[in-house]
């Protein structure tokens, strides 16, 4: 299963489970937020590899830029931060 699908499943689960949501939100202020996020997800049965999680935003934007006749004619003002979008959705 792709990391994007696992993140969607985790997000839906966290919306229904306040304790899980709080545990995930707490990783934002940890010493190693991405690693700790993946550890919390794994404890709850979600397979989200650290490297794939870190690469999600840039991969999405790069795909969008390549998807129009071999390349987009514009650039994004910033890479989308999927982690912050995830956290916003579960708060």
- DSSP per-residue letters across the chain: --HHHHHHHHHHHHHH-HHHHHHHHHGGGSSSHHHHHHHHHHHTT----HHHHHHHHHHHHHHHHHTTTTS-SS--SS---HHHHHHHHH-
Phi/psi at 71 (nearest 5 deg)? 170, 140
The confidence score (pLDDT) of residue 56 equals 76
pLDDT 10s digits, 9-33: 999 999 999 999 999 999 999 999 9
Q: Average pLDDT in the 36-53 region?
A: 94
**What rounded mean pLDDT belongs to the chain?**
83
């Amino acid at each position: 299963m792709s990391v994007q699908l696992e993140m969607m499943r985790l997000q839906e689960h966290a919306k229904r489970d306040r304790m899980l949501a709080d545990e995930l939100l707490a990783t934002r202020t940890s010493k190693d937020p991405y690693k700790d996020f993946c550890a919390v997800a794994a404890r709850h049965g979600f397979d989200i590899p650290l490297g794939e999680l870190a690469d999600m935003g840039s991969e999405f934007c790069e795909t969008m830029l390549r998807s129009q006749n071999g390349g987009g004619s514009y650039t994004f003002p910033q890479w989308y931060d999927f982690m912050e979008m995830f956290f916003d959705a579960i708060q």
